[in-house]
Amino acid sequence: MSAGEIAGRFPEISRPAVSQHLRTLAAARLVEVRRVGNRRFYRLRPEGLAEAVAFLESMWSTSLGRLQREAEREERAHTGDQDGEGSL
């Protein structure tokens, strides 16, 4: 899909802003860029998206684990159960 076609799908965003976002996506290797004359065509890189999903899942699961441990610690503190045998 050409940069112009992509920009046309986002009329509320300026073309220079769309171009900047596309450059960022290309730098992150989430899209591939093919130049034909003075036009640029963009294609999603499924493998790049899979890498991004794996990163987000690992980050999210780590954060959720920390949140769960903190919530359990807070619950024990509020119920007076310091040995971890209380329930949530």
Query: What is the full per-residue pLDDT of the chain (88 aa) written as tens digits?
Result: 999 999 999 999 999 999 999 999 999 999 999 999 999 999 999 998 898 888 888 888 888 888 889 999 999 998 875 555 555 5
The pLDDT score that the predictor gives to residue 88 is 55
Decide if 66 contacts 74 (C-beta within 8 A): no
The pLDDT score that the predictor gives to residue 60 is 81
CB within 8 A of 37, min separation 6: which ones? none
The pLDDT score that the predictor gives to residue 87 is 52
What is the Cα–Cα distance from 7 to 17, expressed in whole angstroms?
Answer: 9
The pLDDT score that the predictor gives to residue 45 is 92
Decide if 23 contacts 3 (C-beta within 8 A): no
